[in-house]
Amino acid sequence: MRGLYLVTPNWDDTDRLLDITEQALHGGVALLQYRHKSAEAQQRREQAGALLALARKFGVPFIINDFIALCEELDADGVHVGGTDASVAQVRARLGKDKIVGASCYGDMALARTAEAGGASYVAFGGFYPSLVKKYPVTTPLDIVLQAKREIALPCVVIGGMTPENAAPLVARGADMVAAISSVFNNAYEADDVDIAVQQFNQLFAA
């Protein structure tokens, strides 16, 4: 697990969602997460199924935020759970050893250690910067990435207001993946904008 971790926005416009996601996948994405907590169940199922098909086309792992039953129904590659969702250990027991289980750890190394012990596939820290998607206090220190790389043996994801510019110091500290939403989707006025954003994120991992 290394590179751009693309997370979808809460868009009801499925055609636009799929169009921009496909452009990004073509440019190079390490992991795709579907996240739309306010969608109706039928819409969520339809969007997730269509995104799964795109991910399969490009050979990219596809996971679903929070909705474990939907992951099972579609046979997606895994789920991402947050601090208020089901525990990592419970999810791992339910999905088995082969699925991806990611865990939000915010700025808390204790959560990361618990996630590792529970069978997480990766841990995600943040937010590091103000986000257009979620409102939260920006309290996660950059150096938590250094600490995580010393203390746990899992890939480390960084999230929260990520741009190619402000993600650079986190990748330099050892972040394995940068999770982005707005920098790809909200700037996608032209097809080239998606390509440029994806390329810039991937250049962080080229060294």
Active-site amino acid positions: 35, 104, 134
Inter-residue contact 70 to 27 (CB < 8 Å)? no
Within 59-190, where are the H helices? 68-74, 88-95, 109-118, 144-151, 164-172, 182-185
48 contact partners, CB below 8 Å, separation of at least 6: 34, 64, 67, 70, 74, 76
Inter-residue contact 163 to 184 (CB < 8 Å)? no
Q: d(Cα 158, Cα 145) in Å, to the nearest integer?
A: 8
| Cα-based torsion angle of the residue sequence 111, 181, 135, 108 in order, rounded to the nearest 10 degrees | 10
Q: Provide the b/e sequence for 59-85 (b: ≥16 CB within 10 Å).
A: ebbbbbbbbbebbeebebbbbbbeeeb
Question: 122-125 and 156-158: which strand pairing?
Answer: parallel
